[in-house]
Amino acid sequence: TVLKGAAGVRYGPEALGGAIIVEANPLRLKSPFSAEVGTGYQTNGRGYFANAQISQGLDKLSYHIGASYTRIGDRNTPDYLLTNTGKEERSINGGLRYRINKDLNVKVFYSYLSQDLGLLRSSVAHSGTAIIRAINSDVPNIINEFSYDINQPNQLVQHHLGKIEASWWYADDAKL
């Protein structure tokens, strides 16, 4: 959920510009086993992705497990290739809910994301002359054949997110 403006105040002064609230799978109890698989393709970069997830809710226990993979090669404009603009991304996530009694629940969630992002090779210059040449050029100074390889310069990003939540219904319409 994306919060903007005054709604972010409850998350502190750092969130005045906005906040992103990460909500995991709801982990419903007494829900049937569910499995989903998805794939896709994009033409620019010849990118493809696949994802899968399973979930189930029993009387007192519910779980969710998911994973995804994305790979995109060099992107292109209508006239030329943009060398080293690919992406490779892997992610996994999982959640577990345990109902201790009718008033008390505990949820645990974890997700991991790893991205390797290529940065346009022609965007890096090692001298003032190279910067001027790049600015004055109508096309990038480096244009190689299409590739899925991600070379320098690139950005490797890894995110871990863990969350533990306990909820206690101390009245019919009140939760802590």
Whether pLDDT at 77 is above 90: yes
pLDDT given for residue 14 in this prediction: 67
Residue 150 carries which side chain, given as an amino acid letter? I
pLDDT given for residue 173 in this prediction: 86
Contact 70, 89 (CB under 8 A): yes
Task: Give the torsion sign (CA, 170, 100, 106, 36).
Answer: negative
124-166 tens-digit pLDDT: 888 888 888 888 888 988 899 999 999 999 999 999 999 999 9
Whether pLDDT at 15 is above 70: no
pLDDT given for residue 13 in this prediction: 67
Between CA 35 and CA 66 the distance in angstroms is: 10
Question: Which DSSP state fits 78?
Answer: S
Mean pLDDT of the 1-23 span: 72
Reduce the DSSP state of residue 98 to 3 states and report it. strand
Band (3; pLDDT cuts 50, 70, 90): confident
Mean pLDDT (the chain, rounded) = 90
Between CA 87 and CA 79 the distance in angstroms is: 21
Alpha helical stretches, state H, the chain: 128-136
Percent of the chain at pLDDT exceeding 90: 67
Which residue do the tokens 């390889």 mark?
149
Choose between 13 and 152: higher pLDDT.
152
Whether pLDDT at 122 is above 80: yes
Choose between 136 and 33: higher pLDDT.
33
Inter-CA distances, 73 with 39, 80, 82, 98, 171, Å: 17, 14, 10, 42, 55
Mean pLDDT of the 91-120 span: 95
